[in-house]
Structure 1
Amino acid sequence: MIASEAADETTVGSDSSERQTDLRKLRLLLALDALLRENSVSRAAASVGLQPSAMSRLLGQLRDDYDDPLFLRTGHGLRPTPLAESLRLRVRAVAAETEALFGADRSRRPSTSVQARHSGWVGQGLSNAPPLSVRPSRLLEGEPAPEDFAAKLAGIGGDAAPQKRLARCIATIGTGAGRSRPLSEDEAEDALAIILAGEADPVQIGALMTVLHYRGPTAIEIAGFVRAMRRHIGAVEPGEGAADLDWPCYLSPKLKTAPWFLHAARLVAAAGHRVVLHGNYGEESEERHKLEVAAACAGIPICRSVEAAHDALSAAGIAYLPLSVLAPQIYRLLGLYRLMEMRMPLNAAIHLLNPLSARASLLGVANPSSRTISRDIALLLGTQDLTILGNTRDHAEFTPYRQTPLFRLVAGEPSDLIVPAAAAPPAELRTGLSSREYWQAVWTGAARDERAETIIMTTAAAALISLDGSDDFAAACRTARALWSARSRHPA
């Protein structure tokens, strides 16, 4: 009996040791997956909640186990060795299955995290956008021989079926050096119109966006996309005077700061200018209705259509159009970022949508090349007055404590400014209020925050010089300060 019990204990000890070995291997595979995704020890560690030193130790164990360096250090981060690349898909499958198993457990818990609840931005939107509309996927026809290529494309006329016309556009730009060319504005408009009408094969959507991103879209192509988007939403025709200032605000869900620019927009509207905002805050974030929550708190009308926004401007002088209800198909197209991990050409086009054909626009664009192409697109679309804030991304909110380049069009002519950095006051320490509550308290005066107030006033000043064509930013700041002092502090 004693011998039997000892044998059982030996078996149990052996099983426990094997399980520990299996758990160690799983941990190493998850670390390898993070390293392959991030190409950086520090970023990989952050993505799985470890310290960089711990990730370095795991990498050392992986190298010992595989008897291969796995990653080589370069000036652009870690570069996987051929062995590591050969493991990428299998390791991702293991990691994805692990994430799915834990995700299934999380799905039985309340969906809103404690942090999101505390922020105050969680709320209900007007509606959820329907899924992206596409036609069923089909096998594409084989590529023609080189000598038949030009004749084949020429044979697809403007009256051809939508899928054929879209295939012609993909082939026009994606068949390699010496055989490809950029799309004309009309071709680009037709291509996106087919997609927005739900008549494109999903493979074609991915192919078009990928080849454009890889080659780099031209201003003419993006202008064609903008025209297709405007036609899709029934945008107001230019010259009708429906709005004064167009203010796109397409925020990354990674941005956790309060939307101070909405307070700035309220000041501009209080000065008698008709301001239309349009945008969204990510797709899958728990705070995806953040801008709608903020607009409702600020008393900014939230509109479902261009017509409703037109009426709101007449009544209140300001309106917000959530993209998810204004144009669900465009909203879902932008959401393909999660499948492709790249910013598509549509991201540049959406900022120039200008649904009510306002006479001036205020944009935020951080990338230098994107600023240039955005101004070129605006000129192609007939925009005469434009201000691009050169150190913000995706939305126009001034950063007064850094030197800010302003890339402008004034009466159709380039007219740039450099605004020097202001001295930054001490950061405010706030407790007891959520982000949303503090954002409201700054407007009502219940909280005083010099940094936030300066952001609001300088953002309003940037909008004002875009509207009047002035190059006196200091004077615009004085006007914005007067508007701030005279604001109605009652909550909406």
Structure 2
Amino acid sequence: MATAPEEPSLKLGQLRLLLALDALLMEGSVSRAAERMGMGTPAMSRLLGQIREVYGDPIFIRSSRRLIPTPFAESMRQRIRALAAEAEALLRPQERTAANPTVDPASWSGSPVIEAAPLTTRPSVLLEGEPLPESFARKLAAIGKAEDARKRLAKHIATIGAGIGHSRPLTTGEAEDAFSTILDGEADPVQVGALLSLMHFRGETAAELAGFAQAAHAHIGQAELGSLSVDLDWPAYISPKSRRMPWFLQAALLLAQSGCRILLHGNDGGGNTRGSLLSAARAIGIPVCATPTAARDAIAERGIAYIPVAALSSQIHRLLSLYSVLETRSSINSLMPLLNPFGAPASMMGVVRPAYRDLHRDAGVILGRGNMTIFGTSRDAAEATPFRSSTLLRLVGGTAEDLFVSALPEPKAYPLTGMTSLEYWCAVWAGTIRDERATEIIVATAATGLLTFAGGQADRYEACRSRAREIWNARKKSVP
């Protein structure tokens, strides 16, 4: 039986998908591609869904800044651009009128005064001499055979930084190899800056963050530290520009008094926050430890410990210090919430930038994390904002779940009168000052910690809030 010819509308639809894919590859953004095509963003999103269905490929990987093409999409970029360019050329109006007849090139030939460079005269999808993706892949393969660590790292830099049509994100394994080279001190300093700057400018992917985390785990010896029996990992890498009081430390101590074993780790980072976490932790009796062994002993005795990242890895600490040199964040800052140095089964983290929250959760899935809660916060630590409606991104038993938390009425803030901010902060814990606003922040943070630690479903949140308030009212208020 003869096959029925395709409907014209189907053919037109397929051509539209290719033009939409070209716009997406050119712009790296659904909204900008929609603007390029003269359509709405929802319509472009639907076309992207159809493209994914046709090819059976994600087509793009989500990053913190833009859409990054998959290797399959990159392999089609040149052919699709050529098709789109030809379509544009065919539809471009031809300026041919009787008053303006066409020119016979042969009758006007002659020698130019100066030969123009190819870039100025030859519009082309591929510049003359530009390597095809296949050639670039062979080049990377040849570099990859080298045993020299710097050459291997150069391969990874070339993979992400060779330009449109010849670059792609690193896989988890590649990112792990690249960061391991840096952590082992085998990278040239120029390579370190190049890799981190390129990755952050383009936007990290979840696979890259997971690879960095795996390299960091191996570097600090997580396999050995994992026997320290920690229930909840609590990263606290505060921005140097932060001026807020660290109420989350009181929430952590509250949970430790209820039987949850907690590891806090962080970096004061300099600026306004230099030494602030250490001072606050010591002020209410949270042990500050200089070695993993000391942290193990403190957690066994007190249920909680704070350890600076410098005590875990001087190399990671030095990489974090690049902030003061570059005056901008790098992929190292993105890594720190995922560090989880003692391999706790649950973790709470604060992530400032909205696009990174999904990335950190996706990276958690790749890393096999069980229970995780990600706060959208104005600081790089897990602290609730109960007076603003918020959505907590979670992993519950390794499964993604969102928890919407409604806003509470905000009590009046208490003024600081006759005392320093640290003295006021300690007085709230000791109960000599009643600050309902601070109390709500502490209780909401502790409630989320209880929910995360237990791996509870969203419907358990209010019960955890009630339990957290009971623990707060019954806390041991003594300070050193």
Same fold (TM over 0.5): yes
Structure 1 equivalent of residue 473 of structure 2: 485
TM-fit CA distance, 1:158: 6.0
8 Å contact from structure 2 (residues 240, 272) kept in 1: no
Q: In the alignment, does 2:134 pair up with 1:146?
A: no
Structure 1 equivalent of residue 362 of structure 2: 376
TM-fit CA distance, 1:157: 3.7
Query: 1:101-141 CA distances to partner (integer Å, 9 max, x unpaired)?
Result: xxxxxxxxxxxxxxxxxxxxxxxxxxxxxxxxxxxxxxxxx
Query: 1:387-446 CA distances to partner (integer Å, 9 max, x unpaired)?
Result: 111234311111111112111111111121111111111111221111111111111111
Q: Do the aligned partners of residues 159 and 299 (structure 1) sit closer, same or farther apart at CA in structure 2, a change above 3 Å counting?
A: farther
Distance in 2 (CA, whole Å) between partners of 1:321 and 1:146 is 50
TM-fit CA distance, 1:145: 7.6
8 Å contact from structure 1 (residues 399, 455) kept in 2: yes
1:255 to 237, 242, 246: 242
Letter in 2 for 1:258: M
Structure 2 equivalent of residue 473 of structure 1: 461
1:190 to 163, 177, 190: 177
Matches within 5 A, 1:311-460: 311-460=297-446
TM-fit CA distance, 1:196: 1.4
Distance in 2 (CA, whole Å) between partners of 1:489 and 1:444 is 5
Distance in 2 (CA, whole Å) between partners of 1:456 and 1:229 is 31
Q: Do the aligned partners of residues 246 and 158 (structure 1) sit closer, same or farther apart at CA in structure 2, a change above 3 Å counting?
A: farther
8 Å contact from structure 2 (residues 252, 262) kept in 1: yes
Distance in 2 (CA, whole Å) between partners of 1:189 and 1:307 is 26
Distance in 1 (CA, whole Å) between partners of 2:188 and 2:130 is 23
Structure 1 equivalent of residue 295 of structure 2: 309
Query: 1:10-42 CA distances to partner (integer Å, 9 max, x unpaired)?
Result: xxxxxxxxxxxxxxxxxxxxxxxxxxxxxxxxx
Distance in 2 (CA, whole Å) between partners of 1:198 and 1:458 is 42
Aligned to 1:281, what secondary structure does the other structure show?
coil
Instruction: Structure 1: state its 5+ residue gaps.
Output: 1-143
Letter in 1 for 2:152: R
Q: Do the aligned partners of residues 277 and 362 (structure 1) sit closer, same or farther apart at CA in structure 2, a change above 3 Å counting?
A: same
Letter in 2 for 1:333: L
Q: In the alignment, does 2:228 pair up with 1:222?
A: no
TM-fit CA distance, 1:239: 7.3
Distance in 1 (CA, whole Å) between partners of 2:145 and 2:328 is 31
Q: Do the aligned partners of residues 428 and 158 (structure 1) sit closer, same or farther apart at CA in structure 2, a change above 3 Å counting?
A: farther
TM-fit CA distance, 1:170: 0.4
8 Å contact from structure 2 (residues 232, 261) kept in 1: yes
Letter in 1 for 2:281: A
Query: 1:206-241 CA distances to partner (integer Å, 9 max, x unpaired)?
Result: 111121122212111111101111111112469757
Structure 2 equivalent of residue 281 of structure 1: 268
Aligned to 2:267, what secondary structure does the other structure show?
strand
Q: In the alignment, does 2:267 pair up with 1:243?
A: no
8 Å contact from structure 2 (residues 238, 273) kept in 1: no
Structure 1 length-normalised TM: 0.68
Q: Do the aligned partners of residues 159 and 319 (structure 1) sit closer, same or farther apart at CA in structure 2, a change above 3 Å counting?
A: farther
Tell me how large the CA RMSD over aligned residues is: 2.0
8 Å contact from structure 1 (residues 250, 281) kept in 2: yes
Aligned to 2:222, what secondary structure does the other structure show?
coil
Structure 2 length-normalised TM: 0.69
Larger Rg: 2
Q: Do the aligned partners of residues 280 and 478 (structure 1) sit closer, same or farther apart at CA in structure 2, a change above 3 Å counting?
A: same
Letter in 1 for 2:198: V
Q: In the alignment, does 2:147 pair up with 1:166?
A: no
8 Å contact from structure 1 (residues 425, 451) kept in 2: yes
Distance in 2 (CA, whole Å) between partners of 1:149 and 1:305 is 46
Distance in 1 (CA, whole Å) between partners of 2:226 and 2:333 is 25
Matches within 5 A, 1:19-98: none
Structure 2 equivalent of residue 299 of structure 1: 285
Distance in 1 (CA, whole Å) between partners of 2:396 and 2:236 is 22
TM-fit CA distance, 1:318: 0.5
Aligned to 2:338, what secondary structure does the other structure show?
coil
Identical counterparts, % of pairs: 49
8 Å contact from structure 2 (residues 242, 273) kept in 1: no
Instruction: Structure 2: state its 5+ residue gaps.
Output: 1-128
Structure 2 equivalent of residue 134 of structure 1: none
Q: Do the aligned partners of residues 296 and 369 (structure 1) sit closer, same or farther apart at CA in structure 2, a change above 3 Å counting?
A: same
Aligned to 2:464, what secondary structure does the other structure show?
helix
Distance in 2 (CA, whole Å) between partners of 1:329 and 1:239 is 20
Distance in 2 (CA, whole Å) between partners of 1:158 and 1:228 is 21
Aligned to 1:177, what secondary structure does the other structure show?
coil
8 Å contact from structure 2 (residues 239, 273) kept in 1: no
8 Å contact from structure 1 (residues 222, 346) kept in 2: no
8 Å contact from structure 1 (residues 281, 290) kept in 2: yes
Distance in 1 (CA, whole Å) between partners of 2:298 and 2:259 is 14
Letter in 1 for 2:158: A
8 Å contact from structure 2 (residues 242, 379) kept in 1: no
8 Å contact from structure 2 (residues 241, 272) kept in 1: no
8 Å contact from structure 1 (residues 247, 276) kept in 2: yes
